């Protein structure tokens, strides 16, 4: 197969061993090769400009510039660029944000051995690829239950074990307003209490553990 038909891949992940394992699997294929690697979003943007890969595998959680932010920045200049998100989280909120940013593939890291190559080929062919369990979560949660930016700030405060008063002081709002936000959060997440809201928030990708 000629060079023109080889799928050129950029790998972005902050773990060297993860990048190495993925690169080995890709380079073992006759129709694809790794053209560059990056360890964070900032490096990813720079590497993309230099190598112009056909498909970029993008870790979603990295120090500094996140994977979603990197995708947004790259697609601002290269709107036809194609991305596969790499993540350990099966949260539907994170997936929605990734697809809104421009990703067309979403791959859980525990499925890399079985689905990596197929996902790259599908995305390169202009198709979408998403794990069934995430697609089901997205279908189950309507846009009406989306937590607002302010509610997200309150939820983060709750996850850190802060009282309503401290959260109110941190956000420069009244304690009564915090209570209203928490009531709304519990309703939107169908949570029984503050602790349950944090657990659901982490599972769905609203906040990090």
- pLDDT-above-90 percentage for the chain: 54
| Sheet with strand 105-108: strands edge to edge | 32-38, 7-12, 55-59, 83-87, 105-108
- Say if residue 55's pLDDT is above 50: yes
Q: Which tens digits make up the pLDDT trace of 93-140?
A: 778 888 888 899 988 888 888 899 999 999 999 998 887 777 766 666
Per the model's pLDDT, the better-predicted residue between 94 and 76 turns out to be: 76
- Which residues pair with residue 38 across a beta bridge? 12
Query: Which DSSP helix (H) or strand (E) runs through 89?
Result: none
Query: Which DSSP helix (H) or strand (E) runs through 41?
Result: helix 41-51
CATH architecture of 3-138: 3-Layer(aba) Sandwich (3.40)
- Which residues pair with residue 56 across a beta bridge? 10, 83
Residue 1 confidence class, pLDDT cut points 50, 70, 90: very low
Nearest to 188 by CA among 161, 154, 165, 157: 154
Strands (E) across 62-170 are located at 83-87, 105-108
Q: Which tens digits make up the pLDDT trace of 61-74?
A: 888 888 999 999 99
Is 143-204 assigned to CATH 1.10.10.10?
yes
For 31, 52, 195, the CA distances from 117, given in Å and listed in that order, are 10, 19, 39
- d(CA 139, CA 75) in angstroms, rounded, equals 26
Q: Where are the domains of the chain?
A: 3-138, 143-204
pTM of the model: 0.69
State both tokens at 94: 């994170």
Q: Which residues contact 126 (CB under 8 A, 6 or more apart)?
A: 82, 104
């Amino acid at each position: 197969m000629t060079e023109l038909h080889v799928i050129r891949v950029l790998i972005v992940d902050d773990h060297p061993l993860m990048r190495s394992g993925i690169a080995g699997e890709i380079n073992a294929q006759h129709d694809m090769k790794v053209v560059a690697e990056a360890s964070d979003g900032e490096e990813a943007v720079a590497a993309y400009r230099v190598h112009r890969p056909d498909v970029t595998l993008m870790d979603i959680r990295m120090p500094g510039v996140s994977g979603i932010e990197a995708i947004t920045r790259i697609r601002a200049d290269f709107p036809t660029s194609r991305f596969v998100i790499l993540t350990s989280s099966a949260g539907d909120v994170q997936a929605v944000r990734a697809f809104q940013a421009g990703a067309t593939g979403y791959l859980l890291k525990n499925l890399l051995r079985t689905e990596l190559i197929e996902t790259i080929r599908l995305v390169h062919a202009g198709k979408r690829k998403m794990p069934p369990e995430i697609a089901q979560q997205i279908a189950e949660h309507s846009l009406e239950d989306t937590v607002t930016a302010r509610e997200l700030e309150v939820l983060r405060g709750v996850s850190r074990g802060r009282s309503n008063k401290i959260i109110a002081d941190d956000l420069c709002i009244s304690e009564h307003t915090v209570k209203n936000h928490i009531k709304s959060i519990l309703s939107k997440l169908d949570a029984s209490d503050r602790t349950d809201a944090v657990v659901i928030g982490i599972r769905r990708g609203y906040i990090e553990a």
